[in-house]
């Protein structure tokens, strides 16, 4: 596994950039065809690729006990992930094997079994068909052949549940994944909403700090820096650190005692459509689900990360910070992505040029292009 920079090393680099009025730079410029953000053919290839990669489905904390489940659409398919009686997480196509209706409504909960609301066929937490209402009407039915259909692979790692729906073309984000989320964190908010923008346009907004002063002049910029980032790429993934101005307080603290917590927004991009942001008092897991070439569904989990305060104070602070991020800065990013998508119809741009300030975006597109070619 790639060794990411330590807290002290990141802070050293931040101070070098503050003193030198600089930022981390990429080696190359990337030109991405504008048509790749609206082409139906390209979109279909990307969705197919998402089904053939391990993609984050939910945090482990969303499945805290045996019987806990999450049901939602991922890469265009209804998926049901559940922690079984043995503590293992499994995932299935959320479709009854009788007539195909979802056996679990979208959302989350805890269950001992899943009963289809159409004709009451019932399945265990391991996906086995355990009961058929009026079974006399189905003489000779092979029950084993009518279990819920499992996805190809489920892996729980780094506090996340990854689902690979079809035969894998790559290890993707798992190839070089650090431990990011503790499974015993608590989820205090889950939200889903849609935007009229391609999933890549939305993802790009969190991969660079070149836009902070211009787009977030009254929200993030007063607390941070413009175009000052530490950027690391590892495997298919990347890490982008956005320092707060208060990081200057660490200058007088011995180097070995310096910690990033509360001094930066630390964003881990997990290829292809997920990122985790560690903020002052909470973590935010964002999964961008492609719905159409020009539409994306956001899935956002907010998790408490502070353990040094009373639970009530911790929760209050985390919720306040989460609301600020979602209702201010995130709203500005969403509006920017939607504006770009609308402008694509003008054909003003044949391509977008990502410069050396946008290192993580260039890495993302190079990785995506390579895997699409490999997937055929």
What is the model's pLDDT at position 176? 87
Average pLDDT estimate for 35-60: 98
Average pLDDT estimate for 91-104: 98
What is the model's pLDDT at position 316? 59
pLDDT tens by residue, 327-339: 677 999 999 999 9
Q: What is the DSSP letter of 173?
A: G
Read off the tokens for 88: 């293992």
pLDDT tens by residue, 279-290: 988 999 999 999
Average pLDDT estimate for 157-174: 96
What is the model's pLDDT at position 232? 97
- The alpha carbons of the chain give a radius of gyration, in whole angstroms, of 22
Q: How many CB atoms lie within 10 A of CB 259?
A: 11
What is the model's pLDDT at position 136? 96
CATH architecture of 55-167: 3-layer Sandwich (2.102)
pTM of the model: 0.94
Q: Which residues neighbour 82 within 8 Å (Cβ) at sequence distance 6 or greater?
A: 63, 67, 68, 69, 70, 89, 90, 91, 92, 111, 114, 125
pLDDT score of 322 more than 60: no
Considering the chain, what is the average pLDDT of its residues?
94
pLDDT tens by residue, 217-258: 999 999 999 999 999 999 999 999 999 999 999 999 999 999
pLDDT score of 310 more than 50: no
- List the chain domain ranges: 7-52+173-375, 55-167
Q: How many CB atoms lie within 10 A of CB 298?
A: 18
CATH architecture of 7-52+173-375: Alpha-Beta Complex (3.90)
pLDDT score of 312 more than 70: no
pLDDT score of 130 more than 70: yes
**DSSP sequence for 188-231:** EEEEEEEESS-HHHHHHTTS-STTHHHHSTTTTGGGB-SS--EE
């Amino acid at each position: 596994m790639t060794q990411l920079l330590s807290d002290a090393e990141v802070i050293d680099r931040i101070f070098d950039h503050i003193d030198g009025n600089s930022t981390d730079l990429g080696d190359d410029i990337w030109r991405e065809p504008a048509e790749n953000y609206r082409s139906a053919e390209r979109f279909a290839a990307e969705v197919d690729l998402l089904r053939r990669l391990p993609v984050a489905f939910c945090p482990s904390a969303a499945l805290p006990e045996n019987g806990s489940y999450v049901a939602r659409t991922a890469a265009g398919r209804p998926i049901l992930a559940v922690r079984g009686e043995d503590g293992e997480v499994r995932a299935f196509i959320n479709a009854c094997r009788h007539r195909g209706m979802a056996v679990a409504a979208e959302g989350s909960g805890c269950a001992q079994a899943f009963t289809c609301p159409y004709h009451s066929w019932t399945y265990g937490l391991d996906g086995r068909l355990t009961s058929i209402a009026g079974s006399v009407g189905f003489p000779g039915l092979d029950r084993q052949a009518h279990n819920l259909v499992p996805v190809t692979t489920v892996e729980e790692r780094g506090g996340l549940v990854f689902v690979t729906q079809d035969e894998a073309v790559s290890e993707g984000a798992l190839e070089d994944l650090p431990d990011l989320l503790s499974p015993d964190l608590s989820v205090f908010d889950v939200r889903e909403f849609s935007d009229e923008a391609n999933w890549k346009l939305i993802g790009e907004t969190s991969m660079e700090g070149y836009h902070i002063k211009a787009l977030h002049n009254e929200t993030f910029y007063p607390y941070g820096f413009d175009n000052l980032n530490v950027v690391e790429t590892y495997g298919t993934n990347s890490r982008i650190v956005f320092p707060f101005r208060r990081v200057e307080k660490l200058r007088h603290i011995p180097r070995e005692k310096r910690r990033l917590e509360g001094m930066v927004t630390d964003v881990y991009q997990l290829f292809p459509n997920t990122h985790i942001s560690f903020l002052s008092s909470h973590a935010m897991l964002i999964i961008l689900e492609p719905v159409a070439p020009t539409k994306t569904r956001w899935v956002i989990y907010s998790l408490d990360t502070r353990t040094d305060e009373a639970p009530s104070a911790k929760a209050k602070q985390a919720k306040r910070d989460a609301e600020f991020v979602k209702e201010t800065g995130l709203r500005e990013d969403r509006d920017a992505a939607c504006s770009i998508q609308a402008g694509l119809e003008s054909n003003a741009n044949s391509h977008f040029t990502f410069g050396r300030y946008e290192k993580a975006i260039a890495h993302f597109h190079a990785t995506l292009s390579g895997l699409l070619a490999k997937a055929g």
